[in-house]
Amino acid sequence: MLVLVAPGQGAQTPGFLTPWLELPGAADRVAGWSDAIGLDLAHYGTKADADEIRDTAVAQPLLVAAGLLAAAELTTKVGPGAFGAAAGHSVGEITAAAYAGVLSDADALSFVRTRGLAMAEAAATTATGMAAVLGGDQDVVVAHLEKLGLTPANVNGAGQIVAAGTMEQIAALEAEKPEGSMKVVALKVAGAFHTHHMAPAVAGLEKAAAALSPADPALTYVSNKDGQVVTTGADVVARLVGQVANPVRWDLCMETFAALGVTGIVELSPGGTLTGLAKRALKGVPSVALKTPDDLDKAAALVSEHAV
């Protein structure tokens, strides 16, 4: 089974959307999305600097738009039905939900716009952030984070756990990393996502979710809440709402990929983070990250060779 995955916040880099907008029809599609959600996606994806696209209210719609654009181009190359499963990391779950047919592209972008604004507002109340802990035993790392008052917000597997909390707590972690870990790396995000600090954003998302008419997934949809396969659109949307204030368990998603018999993984733009984790946790499973349109042929070759 081939799995399509979509990255979360922090994967964005200045100008990453530029080559995608050069594809036929892409600029018009993005312009339409921009008008619909009131955000100039083309500007932020091509001309904005790192600080501008670090803004949660900008980064989240930008990432989903880039993922949808890359998914459409990939489908043109390999045809519909090439992938048997889809999953997303954090905000990437919205991209995955659209690819799986749960949400339309328009609904996905409207929902993520609400999500980004609500989470940015929640993040503004307290100075918070996130940092990746690389290496170390998972139980030891989690216990150390909890001692410092931090939340293991992303348990990513492959020796990576992302801590989230106040900036003071992050500073304490940088000064005293967990026993056995190699290093602590601050992330390019503007808040303690997937923790109780994001609880104020949930109410707004519940209201936005009530306006959606989700369909059941057209392929296997793996939730980052617990790595479980979700079979109804209503459950997918409920999980999209709740995940903003709860940890991401990407380690369990990868365990589910293995149990499903994954034969290859393609990561949507701006790819690299999730395929990097897969190379360490799912050894021997081929993968392609769609960093630019030049990678589409590599992805098509992987699909041709490893589809089951």
Question: How large is the average pLDDT for residues 129-155?
Answer: 96
Beta-ladder partners of 2: 264
Residue type, 161: I
In this predicted model, what pLDDT tens digit does every residue of 48-57 receive, in sequence order? 999 999 999 9
Average pLDDT on 284-305 reads 97
The fraction of the chain above a pLDDT of 90, given in percent, is 97
Task: Using only the alpha carbons of the chain, give its radius of gyration.
Answer: 18
C-alpha to C-alpha distance for 301 and 127, rounded to whole angstroms? 45
To the query of whether residue 90 is one of the catalytic residues in this protein, the response is yes
Torsion angles phi and psi, residue 36, rounded to 5 = -70, -35
- pLDDT in the model for residue 307: 79
**Residue 190: per-residue pLDDT:** 84
pTM of the model: 0.96
pLDDT at 13: 96
Question: pLDDT per residue over 144-200, tens digit each?
Answer: 999 999 999 999 998 999 999 999 999 999 999 999 999 999 987 889 999 999 999
Cβ-contact 228, 134 below 8 angstroms: no
pLDDT in tens, 250-274: 999 999 999 999 999 999 999 999 9
Q: How many residues does the chain have?
A: 308
State yes or no: pLDDT of 246 exceeds 80: yes
Q: How far is CA 212 from CA 18, 106, 116, 207, in A?
A: 31, 11, 17, 9
Catalytic option among 34, 89, 90, 144: 90
Which two tokens mark 243? 């995940």
CA distance 56 to 242: 17
Question: What integer pLDDT is reported at residue 188 of this predicted model?
Answer: 78
- Average pLDDT over all residues of the chain: 96
194 is an active site residue: yes
Contacts of 139 (CB under 8 A, 6+ apart): none
Catalytic residue among 89, 144, 194, 197: 194
Residue-wise pLDDT for 207-227, tens only, equals 999 999 999 999 999 999 999
Q: Is the pLDDT of residue 308 over 70?
A: no
